[in-house]
Every structure is written in C-alpha cells, then in structure tokens.
Chains A and B, each alone.
Chain A
Amino acid sequence: MLITITLNGKKITEEVTADSLLIDFVRHHKCFSVKRGCETSNCGLCTVLLDGKPVLSCSLLTCRVNGHSVQTLEGLQEEAKEFVGFIANQGAEQCGFCNPGMVVNTIALLREYPDPSDEDIRQFLSGNLCRCSGYESQLRGIRAYLDFRKGDAA
C-alpha cells in the first residue's frame, strides 16, 4: 500500500506491506532510537508520538498511520535536550536502552502535565520498563528539571 507519513517533520511517501509495523518503518528510516524490547506491548521501549500522543510503535500498523505525523526521539531533540541533562546528572541513564522511549514519554508527560507530582510522573511513565536504574534516579532527574524550571520562572 502506498502511504504518506510525516516522520519527524519530513513527508515520506512509500510503498509498505500490509503488515509492516511502525517500529520497523521508522528504524528503516534510520530512527534507531526506537527499540524493541518485547513482543507483548509491555516494555515501552518503542514509544513514539503519533499526532503528539505517545503510542507503542511495535503495535501499530504502518498503514494505519497513513496521513498522520510520527515523531521519534530523533525529531524531538531540542525538547529532549531541555531536561535529559538533569537525568544524566543523576547517572540515571545506565545502559541507555530504555532511555529513548522513556524520554519521548516524558516529553508527552510534560506537555500534558506542566507541573506533575511524583505520583503523576510514576503513573505516566509506568509503561516504560527499566531494569538498570530502579527508577528512582530517573524521577530525581525529572524532579530536578522541574525544580530548575520553576526557579527559572520565579
């Protein structure tokens, strides 16, 4: 099927098979930040934004995304750069494999909840598994960014 997808702001028109999954499509287009960590839609590693909403690219047919806009971390660099340094300052990235999905979902979180509580953060990111960090350092990093931003605003 011939589809047109806006991937990170760039229109791509391409023939894809009916069962092509979005994760494979974006990786084919060199968006290597998008990772596959399971086959059961549980890990959140493959999170991308579809028309601004976080979704699992492993569970979406590319055909279904025809006419829509997809953003991977490659297309969200500026927004990510605002806060990932705070996560790095905690040493929270560890192996890094789950980071892109977590960072993309954090972008979605911060757009939806400009001033989230710790509980909001945990809830929103609960679908992003991480085996290295124990999660607390990620939370500290996001919290440090939010505190910084508040201080900045004051």
Chain B
Amino acid sequence: MSYRHIDQKPMKKDAMQLLLGKPAYTEDVTPADCLVVKVLRSPYAHALIKNIDTTIACKVPGIEAVYTYKDVPQNRFTMAGQTYPEFSPYDKLILDQRLRFVGDAVAIVAGENEKAVDKALKLIKTDYEVLEPVLDMHTAMDHPVLVHPEDNWDAKVECGADNKRNLVASSRWSEGDVEDVLNNCDKVIRRTYHTQPCQQAAMETFRTYCEIDYYGRLHVISSTQIVFHARRIIANALNIPKSMVRVEKPRIGGGFGSKQTLVAEIYPAFVTWLTKKPSRIVYSRKEVQTCGTPRHEMEMTVTIGAMNDGTIRCIDLYTLSNTGAYSEHGPTTVGLSGTKSIPLYTANLEAFRFDYDVVYTNVQSSGAYRGYGATQGIYAVESAVSEMASVLGIDPVTIREKNMVREGMEMPAYYHEIATSCNLDKCMEKAKNLFDWENKSKVRVLPNGHIRSAGVAMAMQGSGISGCDVGSATVKLEETGFYTLTIGAADMGTGCDTTLAQIAAETLECDLDMINVFGADTDISPYDSGSYASSTTYVTGKAVQMAAEDLIENMKQIVSQMKKVPADDMDFIGTGIKILSTGETVSLEDIATKSMFFNNIPVQITRTNTQPFSPPPFMVGMAETDIDPLTGKVEVVDYVAVVDCGTPINHNLATVQTEGGIVQGIGMALTETVTYTDKGQIMENSFMQYKIPARTDIGSLRIDFAGSYEPTGPYGAKSIGEIVINTPSPAINAAVASAIGKFHYTLPIRPESVLDALEEKK
C-alpha cells in the first residue's frame, strides 16, 4: 500500500523551533517571579519525625511558608499515573511523619528566591527516631519491620497486596502441567537474573508551575505525560474537587515513563493552593536520581525445558520485584516481565508458569520506565534461551526460529491474544542478512588481540493497555479549510503531535501543514489516558483516523445542504468535495465558510478509541561486541535491529525511537550502575556517577523495519516507543558470553567480571 503521509519521513512539526532554542518548556514559558518551592529530604532510609521545628526557618526573609506533615491532608493517594481505579495501592501522603527512604519528603519550603529557600531548608530543626530499614528485597516479604504499617493504606484493586506483609502485589499463574513437561524435557536449565533500578535520565528534570486562575482554580503547568491522571492525583492529594484543577503540559524535555508519575507536581500544587500565589519547583539532577521513579529492580528465576533438537516446551518464570518505598507501578510493571517474554516462545510451548511477588523496601520508589517490566523479563528469558542454545550446541538464531511466535498463533501467556500481525520471523531473516550473522556470530580475534563476537535477542511489547486505555482526538475544520487536531496524549519528544497529524492528513488527503495540533490541557483536550504503555500511535492514532473520517462525512452533509445533492453522490478529494453526477467541486474553503454561516452540522468531531487487544510489536536485535583483553572492556561496535511495529507512521521518528531505545538499553547492559550504601543511600546520584552513554560510547546502529499490518491499528500501525529498549541487555550478554564462555546474571556487565572470566578461561 502506498501512502502520501504514512510511512514517510516528514519533519517533526516542532523541530525547527526546538533546534533553534525557542522557549518551549515549563521553565521557559512560566513566569520566574513566583515562589520557589523546594523539599527537605530525609537523611534516613526509615525514620519517624519525633519533632520538627520550623520557627527559625520561617523567619528567613523572603520565606512564604514552611509545611510539615502536620499541615497536609491525611487521605492517602498514589502518584502513579494510571487509569482509575489504579492498581497501585493508595499509600502516599504529601508529607508523612514516617519517612521511608533516603530522600523522602520531610518538609516543603516556599519563598521568594532560591537563596532564601536554601537557607530556610537548613534551619528546619528535625528530630528523627531512626528505625531499622528494610533494604534487602529478598527478606522484605513478611519482614518484622513494615514499610507501610498504617491502617489507612488502601489497595483499590485486588492484586495480592498486603501492607502487613510488605507486599504490593502477588500472583500465581500457570497453564499446562509444568512439572510433567519439564520432567520429560531432554535439557532443563534454571538461572536467576538480576536487573538494577535504572534511571530514565530525561534531560529535563521534573518541573511544575502552579497558579490560581481567574476562576479560583488551580492551574498546573507541568512536564507530564499524563495531564488527566495528573488532575485526579493532584485533586486526591489536596483533597479538593477534581473540577478545581486544570493541568496543562508545554513541551516536555523527555519522559521515558518518568513523567507518568506525579513526582514533583504535588509540592507546588499544595503551596499554591494554600498561599494562592504562583509557585514553581525545579528538581535538581540529584533529586531526580534519588527521589525519582526508576525502573523496578527485579530478580527473575527462569527455568527452561527443551529437547535436544532445540524445541522449547516449557518456560517457568518467578519474578521478585522491588517497588521501593511506595507502590507506584509496582503491581503492573511486574506482569510484563512474564507476559512480554514467555509468549515470544509460543510455537512449541506446552506449559508455562509465571509467578511473582512485589515487595516494599526502604529505598527510592520505583515507577514507569520504557519497557515497563518487559525489559527485565526479556533480559532474563532471552539470556536463558541463549544459554540453552549454547548448552545444546544449537545456533542461537536457529533455536529462536524454531520456537518463535508466528502470525495467527494464539499466545496463552499473553492472555490468549492472537498474534494478528506478526513479522517476527521476517525481522529475524532481515536482521540475519543485514548483520551478517553467519560470519559475525563466530568468535574472532583481531590483530590487536581484541575479541569480536555476537549475540541475538528477540522482544515484544504491547500497544496500549488492552481493555483499559482510552484515546480520543478532536478534528476541527477551520476557516479557509485548514484543520485543528486536539489531543490529550503527550508529545514528549517522541513526535506524536506529528505522527497523529500525519494520520489526520492521510485521512483528510491534505498537506501536513494544514493540520495544526494542540495538546494537552485537561480543560481543552478530549480525554486520553496519556502517553504511556506504547498507546499513543495505536490507541489515539485510531481515534484520529475515525474523527477525520467522521468529519469528512459531516462535510459531505454540508455540501449536501449547499448543493441539494445526496452525500452518496460525492467524493472527498482533499481540496474539497466532488459531486460525482455533475463533476462540480466544492472547495474546502467554501465548506469551511458555510460551516460558519447558518449551519447546524458540526465540523468539530471527537472520536474515542479503546481496544480489547494490545497487539504486540516485535523485534530482533543483534549486537556485535568488542572485548579488550587487557581491560575486559566491552564495546558494542555494531547493533542491528529490525522492528515490526506494523506500519511505521513516520519512518524517521520510528528509526530514531529505535536508536534511542537501543542506546538506553546499552547503558543498562554496560554502564548504568545503581548501588546503595548499607544505610540505603544511592551512590550514583548525579551524571558524574550515573553513566548514561555519551556519543563516543556507541558504535554503529543499523535499523530496519519488517512491518506487518495490524488490522485494528491506524493504517496498520502498532507501537514502537518501548519495545526498542528490550533487546540490548540479552543480546550483549549473549555476545559477551560467546567470547568469554560465561553468561552474566546481573547487570550491568562490568569490565571487571569480563576480565576475570577471560583470565579463568586462560
């Protein structure tokens, strides 16, 4: 199928403004002469505030207010941006007497300038009763110390949570006779993998501005992926009606899931609501690194049963996930560790089991990060499959080709959804050729002694949350015949303003410049769950298409009134409507003019889309690594990825999403370390210590597509935003293992352990 706008490479609508540095982000577009808000942070992983004295702090000139736990509403809420009722238990107060991690909020200070606020922060006198913290996720469940002993803790949705057991979620699920199948396999391997709580590290830290509007409502301008959930959470936190809150997002300086949680918003919202004065908070990088919402640390035990010919008959996965101090996204991320990994091996799978527990501990609360649990699970399962291939002496590509899910198959471990669109096999075929797997998969020693080798991994994700996510779009015909597309989804650099406009332009058969896009503002935008869970292209995109189609019908009705001809005698031709019987064309401009003159046919259409499925995108990643035998340093010299995201709406943006995701994945695999002191403090609290890849750290990235056609998506599209982070960890693990003869079971893969393995091998 050939399209005018779909699968093309139009420039992002905001590209030139952003590249030329025009003001676009929260801190650029809100007035600086507002109250500066900062938060006093707990030095302890677990403590009770015995006494807190703010008298001296309040006397600092310029200080407007200092708030403590005594000043805040006592109803608990969750900061997780999820559809109501949220899976994440309500376990949070704006400020709490109990402090649950190093960095938890002790007090809020608002003042006229940063200097005064910094001074006041130092002058708050706090007596802490230091309590024993729960720092090890292995012993957290049923630990005598409870992270959330409070009685008003509330799980809105049954997910196995029990605060009296430090449990946020728990589940047992199996199909087929796991023990029996395993007993009848030629080979069974069982391995345990650990992944670290990686940081999203969006370049723009959390920041929010609040003011009271001329109706007396709280107007929040924030760098958020989820304006509608933000409205609910802020209203819940402040215990005020939802109608009193308006949330708007300007340009967002990167999200990757971090801005799917209300990390910063509640503090200035509380200050402005009480003082009725504008206020703003800007998180420091240290706060983002220590009081943000990183990926859930997980430990996954994978058991795989296979036959000598490589047939994979059973996968058994147990995931222990660490949500940290609060529940945000704890019950939901964990599910993806199994449901986005096991189904990759649907073809010959006779039985599977997927059990999990999610525990509270006294460390930084986790949240949503691109991949959302799938990344962890795929690292584990894909690493185990590569090791199984190595044990069986089968090529790692061959074992995958033999067992991978294929189009039309029912995937029991993916809630029995059918793979309606799946080109995973074509992705593998294409990747093999592009990468030159046949030659590069052989371990080679270069003249300088460096060792080259290769690894492969597959991945899947979802496209929105099935049976839940709601995406809406409003398309409006405007004077002279251009259109406005209004959305509640959030472009956080991903380019959805542009890709959704492409869908509108394709349907409306017009130039992309004819579509103006607005998003997102709770007062203006049609309801949208928000931009997360890989939902925007698939869920909201379809709503755009439907709204545009309906608008065409209404425009025909207008022409019908104008020309007294039936609508079925017309053809929409982009620049206007052609009357088939007479050959006359009524221009878009004339229709637009008529729409504003004695007209009762709406030219503003809102359509809402929701889907009972979440069609997975699929992907294959192949990594060629170079190991320096002197240092054990691993470098990814070449990475090939072939993605089935259905129809790529914007070829360029899909490519760059893939490249960006892969580089984040390489960071997770090789350099992004998170360590805690024995007091629960995070050591990697800055970009000086938390090493995301710089451009000198990566080799070549080669991206291609093998798009299937998803019948329920807009123009056949599925998602791409998240899946792209999932293959590097297992592919690199396998590549390194092939060179050093040893798989890694914890991330990141450090040069030290590679060098040790090389020396052992000698």
Contact with A along B285-297 (1 / 0, CB 8 A): 1100000000000
Instruction: Knowing A95-B492, A129-B203, A131-B202, say if A77 contacts B656 (CB, 8 Å).
Output: no
Number of A-B contacts (CB under 8 A): 178
Q: Is A132 an interface residue (CB 8 A)?
A: yes
List of B residues within 8 angstroms of A52 by Cβ: none
B204, B251, B686, B701: the one contacting A42 at CB < 8 Å is: B686
In the assembly, what is the distance between CA of A96 and CA of B492, in Å? 9
Stretch at the interface among A59-67, A108-116, A120-128, A145-153: A120-128
List of B residues within 8 angstroms of A138 by Cβ: 695
Q: Is B367 an interface residue (CB 8 A)?
A: no
Do B285 and A96 touch across chains, with their CB atoms under 8 A apart? no
Q: Is A94 an interface residue (CB 8 A)?
A: yes
In the assembly, what is the distance between CA of A131 and CA of B492, in Å? 12
Instruction: Tell me the residues in window 3-35 of chain B with beta carbons closer than 8 Å to chain A beta carbons.
Output: 9, 11-12, 14-25, 27-28, 32
CB distance from A33 to the nearest CB of B (A): 3
In the assembly, what is the distance between CA of A134 and CA of B652, in Å? 13
CB distance from B756 to the nearest CB of A (A): 29
Q: How large is the interface on B (under 10, 10 to 19, 20 to 34, 35 or more residues)?
A: 35 or more
Instruction: Knowing A42-B687, A91-B9, A91-B11, say if A132 contacts B660 (CB, 8 Å).
Output: yes
In the assembly, what is the distance between CA of A126 and CA of B697, in Å? 9
Contact with B along A126-143 (1 / 0, CB 8 A): 111111111111110000
List of A residues within 8 angstroms of B692 by Cβ: 129, 131
Contact with A along B194-218 (1 / 0, CB 8 A): 0000001111110000000000000
List of A residues within 8 angstroms of B23 by Cβ: 32-33
List of A residues within 8 angstroms of B474 by Cβ: none
Do A122 and B253 touch across chains, with their CB atoms under 8 A apart? no
CB distance from B223 to the nearest CB of A (A): 10
Instruction: Knowing A37-B203, A38-B686, A126-B695, say if A96 contacts B18 (CB, 8 Å).
Output: yes
B16, B21, B661: the one contacting A88 at CB < 8 Å is: B16
Do A136 and B19 touch across chains, with their CB atoms under 8 A apart? no
Instruction: Knowing A33-B22, A88-B19, A97-B203, say if A133 contacts B659 (CB, 8 Å).
Output: yes
In chain B, what residue has the closest Cβ to A121?
B695
CB distance from A105 to the nearest CB of B (A): 11
Do B663 and A95 touch across chains, with their CB atoms under 8 A apart? no
In the assembly, what is the distance between CA of A6 and CA of B263, in Å? 39
In the assembly, what is the distance between CA of A41 and CA of B689, in Å? 12
| A→B interface (CB under 8 Å) | 28, 32-35, 37-43, 45, 72-74, 77, 80-81, 84-85, 87-100, 103, 122-123, 125-139
Name 21 interchain pairs, CB-CB below 8 A, sorted by A.
A32-B22, A32-B23, A33-B23, A34-B21, A35-B203, A37-B203, A39-B284, A39-B686, A40-B687, A42-B686, A93-B12, A93-B493, A95-B254, A96-B15, A96-B493, A97-B253, A127-B694, A128-B695, A129-B687, A135-B695, A137-B655
Known: A42-B686, A95-B203, A103-B21. 13 other contacts (CB 8 A): A33-B23, A34-B21, A35-B253, A84-B16, A93-B18, A94-B254, A96-B493, A99-B18, A129-B203, A134-B662, A134-B663, A136-B698, A137-B652
| B→A interface (CB under 8 Å) | 9, 11-12, 14-25, 27-28, 32, 200-205, 251-256, 284-286, 492-495, 650, 652-653, 655-656, 658-664, 686-688, 692, 694-696, 698, 700-701
